[in-house]
Amino acid sequence: MAKYTFDYSIDTSGMAKVSISNAGIIFSREAIELLGYPQKVHIGLDKTKKVMGICAATENSTVKAFDFVTNEKKKNWIRIQSKKLVAEVSKLAKLTLGKDAVSYLAKLEEDEGTVFLIVELSKK
């Protein structure tokens, strides 16, 4: 058993983050970089596991794709405005959104050949 239990999440600057606010879903530069700067993304929710997954959209996809890195400026910061999606995420994460955003750390995972940016909505 470890002698200490260190909390390494005190300073999360420079880490991939996805934030939720009334204004939309906001992606940090690091989160955008992890995804590889796709032009469009899919955003899905696993309601059982309380996880949001973001992946690059395929060209011939038949599901909703959101514009992502559409110009050089968007490599640093992106906000996706979807009231319906924000409402679902807020409900799933049990958030009461005000004017401040709620940030989550994001990590990259692969599932069946697809790379996802994973956001665990149960962990703030």
The owner of tokens 């009334």 is 22
d(C-alpha 89, C-alpha 25), whole Å: 9
Residues 6+ apart with CB under 8 A from 33: 16, 75
Q: What is the pTM of this model?
A: 0.85
DSSP at 95? -
Tell me, what's the pLDDT at 84?
A: 95
Tell me, what's the pLDDT at 5?
A: 81
Residue 60 falls inside a structural domain? yes
Residue 12 falls inside a structural domain? no
Residue 77 falls inside a structural domain? yes
Residue 89 falls inside a structural domain? yes
Tell me, what's the pLDDT at 59?
A: 85
Domain count for the chain, please give it: 1
Structural domain range at position 51 = 17-120
The owner of tokens 């807020």 is 90
Residue 7 falls inside a structural domain? no
Residue 8 falls inside a structural domain? no
Residue 91 falls inside a structural domain? yes
Contact 53, 120 (CB under 8 A): no
Q: Digits of tens for pLDDT over the chain (124 positions)?
A: 788 888 777 766 678 999 999 999 999 999 999 999 999 999 999 999 999 999 999 888 899 999 999 999 899 999 999 999 999 999 999 988 877 899 999 999 999 999 999 999 987 6
